[in-house]
Chains A and B, each alone.
Chain A
Amino acid sequence: MPHPEVLPYSAPKNAPDHRTDSLLERWFELGNRGTTVRIEVFAGTTTFMAAAYLAVVIPGILASGGMDLAAVTTSTIVMFFAGTLGMALYANLPFVVGPGIGGAAIVATTRSHSGRAFSFCC
């Protein structure tokens, strides 16, 4: 969904004094990017709220292609966790990483259409 407004990238004007920075603030460079732990908690929760439906929808799509729903639900959530954690620790960016609806649809319908095992596709 496109949003017209672009938030300005705040310069580290009111960045906290670096000697008193907590470990979190130093590791993630919160001050440099003009943000605080509280903002990040709220933002992380917001992103989760927005993306959580995928933890329901993706397994549903994959199950329609013949995968086991319970198992693939667990898999999907674990992958959301691992991918997003990787983005946090390696790239230090506020991106949620998980399976896209499009790719899941390709796999599921290809599988149900061709009658082959789902596994070939990747």
Chain B
Amino acid sequence: MVAQLIPAPIKLGLSAALGGFIAMLGFRNAGMVVANTRVNALTLGDFSSHGAILTLIGLAVAIALRHRKIPGAVLLAIILATLIGLPLGVTKLPQTFFGLPHGMGAVTFKLNPLAALRPSLLPYLFAFFAAEFFSTMGTTLAVGDKAGMLDERGNMPGINGPFVVDSCAATIGPLFGVPAMTALIESATGVEVGGRTGLTSIFTAFLFLATLLFSPLILMIPKEATAPALILVGLSMFANLRRIDLGDLTEGFPAILMVLITLFSNNFGTGIAAGILSFVIIKILTNRAREVSLGLYLLTIPLLYFFWTVATKH
């Protein structure tokens, strides 16, 4: 229901806003973007630093391999960058290569659901719900289509199966400190080579379990080596913007504003609030107020309050 309330340009712009955010995280981890306290703004970092060079190499490898549709392109790029990081001094070798996994105690059962119920967190609740819902639906339909499981009207028989599993996973995950569990678009790679049933997932699941034995190796991977993945995935998420009529001021402006405010404020919730508020305001200003649903007008009240609290000095 909430999903229908949100206007299309906001829904389509969500992934771009999130993508910009993720790419920025990658650039920061690589040291390619830093905060310049003198001019009080973000600025380019030192591209000749070992960390930045490592990231650039990893990014080049990931793009080249992904274009050739090599399975595990991003993984190979991360491994290569980690290895190159050894002589450069970015990667630190662990004491042992094999070891029992670390306990999960530090992040398990640290929930406080009541604290989530306040207006300032409303955009996040929405963002979470939207991210989960659209991710599951998008992945299921896209991968299902690839697997030839859709009927002639583009519907998938038995689609509630994956939704039930995703919902359970998304509910249980946070108990162990892992948010936003969902079916992942990476599933398309296995379907591409012929995977059609749950048996594929069985093997994937046990391979993940096996990696636990190598956790010292996983923990040694430096953040500069994973930055290429963040940058590549993040920038790819801008692709959805093309489905918005960017030439239409009432559609394009809120979507782009949402992306920019997310980056300026370094805060996804603020970006969504700005996007929805500007959508409603611009529709009113352009005599198209009737295109805005009553529910959306109601939603703007808590969002206005939220935006006021984060965007004013107090």
Query: What are the residues of chain A within 8 A of B218 when measuring CB–CB?
Result: 55-56, 59, 73
* Chain A residue nearest in CB terms to B132: A103
CA distance A109 to B123 in the complex (A): 14
Query: What are the residues of chain B within 8 A of A74 when measuring CB–CB?
Result: 101-104, 212, 215
Interface size class of A (residues with CB under 8 A): 35 or more
CA distance A94 to B140 in the complex (A): 10
Chain A residues 34-80 with CB under 8 Å of chain B are 34-35, 37, 39-62, 64, 67-80
Query: What are the residues of chain A within 8 A of B202 when measuring CB–CB?
Result: 40, 44, 85, 88
A-B contact count (CB 8 A): 379
Majority secondary structure of chain B interface residues (helix, strand, loop or mixed): helix
Check B197–A94 contact: CB distance below 8 A: yes
Partner of A94, one of B124, B128, B200: B200
Please give the number of chain B residues whose Cβ is less than 8 angstroms from any Cβ of chain A in the complex. Answer: 107
* Chain A residue nearest in CB terms to B115: A120
Chain A 91-110 per-residue mask, 1 if CB under 8 angstroms from chain B, else 0: 11111111111111111011
Check A47–B128 contact: CB distance below 8 A: no
CA distance A100 to B21 in the complex (A): 14
Chain B 178-211 per-residue mask, 1 if CB under 8 angstroms from chain A, else 0: 1111111111111111111111111111111101
B147 within 8 A of A: yes
Given A47-B195, A97-B169, decide whether A119 and B267 contact each other with a Cβ distance below 8 A. Answer: no
Check B74–A53 contact: CB distance below 8 A: yes
B71 within 8 A of A: yes
Check B128–A106 contact: CB distance below 8 A: yes
Check A45–B203 contact: CB distance below 8 A: yes
Check B205–A88 contact: CB distance below 8 A: yes
28 A–B pairs (Cβ distance < 8 Å), ordered by A: A33-B197, A42-B194, A43-B195, A43-B203, A44-B190, A44-B199, A44-B200, A44-B207, A46-B192, A48-B204, A48-B208, A49-B71, A52-B207, A75-B178, A86-B168, A90-B164, A92-B161, A93-B198, A95-B183, A99-B179, A105-B22, A106-B124, A110-B268, A110-B269, A116-B115, A117-B112, A121-B179, A122-B179
Extra inter-chain contacts (20) besides given A56-B78, A58-B178, CB under 8 Å: A28-B198, A30-B197, A40-B197, A40-B200, A43-B203, A49-B72, A50-B71, A50-B190, A52-B208, A56-B218, A72-B104, A79-B181, A87-B165, A94-B143, A94-B187, A95-B201, A98-B208, A99-B182, A103-B182, A117-B112
